[in-house]
Amino acid sequence: MTATFSASERQMVADAVTAIFAAADADATAALVEFGIDDLVASDRQQLGTVFGIQGSTASTSSLLNRVMASALGSAFGELIDLGSSVASLVAPPAIVDGGRLSFAGVAMRTGDGGRVIVGDDRPGGVVAVVDVRAAGVRVRPLQGIDPALCMSAVTAEGVVPDRLIVGTDAAAAWRNALLWGRAALAAELVGCARRVLGIASEYANHRVQFGRPIGSFQAVKHRLANALIAIEAADASVEAVLLRPTALSAMVAKSAAGRAARGAADQALQVLGAIGFTLEHPFHRYQRRCLALDRLFGSSDEIPRAIGAELLRTGDVPIIIGLDDLDHPG
**Site residues for other proteins per CB under 8 A:** 198, 202, 205-206, 213-214, 216-217, 219, 221-223, 225-227, 229-230, 233-235, 237-238, 240-241, 249-250, 253, 256-257, 304-310, 312-313, 316-318, 320-328
Which residues lie closer than 8 Å to 294 by C-beta, 6 or more apart?
A: 56, 186, 189, 190, 193, 259, 262
Nearer Cβ to other proteins, position 82 or 233? 233
Nearer Cβ to other proteins, position 156 or 227? 227
Cβ at position 233, least distance to other proteins in Å: 5
Cβ at position 324, least distance to other proteins in Å: 5
Cβ at position 279, least distance to other proteins in Å: 23
How many helices (H) and strands (E) are present in the chain, helices listed first? 11, 10
Backbone angles phi, psi at 155, to 5 degrees: -115, 125
CA–CA distance, 37 with 51 (Å, rounded to integer): 9
Nearer Cβ to other proteins, position 1 or 220? 220
Greatest alpha-carbon pair distance for the chain in Å reads: 73
Nearer Cβ to other proteins, position 25 or 317? 317
Using CA atoms, how far residue 256 sits from 46, 122, 184, 252, 305, in Å, is 19, 18, 10, 6, 7
Angle at 45 between CA 44 and CA 50, to 5 degrees: 100
Nearer Cβ to other proteins, position 171 or 198? 198
Cβ at position 194, least distance to other proteins in Å: 13
CA–CA distance, 194 with 258 (Å, rounded to integer): 8
Cβ at position 212, least distance to other proteins in Å: 12
Cβ at position 191, least distance to other proteins in Å: 12
Nearer Cβ to other proteins, position 280 or 318? 318
Nearer Cβ to other proteins, position 78 or 316? 316
CA–CA distance, 280 with 318 (Å, rounded to integer): 46
Backbone angles phi, psi at 274, to 5 degrees: 70, -150
Cβ at position 100, least distance to other proteins in Å: 36
Q: Around Cβ 271, how many Cβ atoms within 10 Å? A: 14
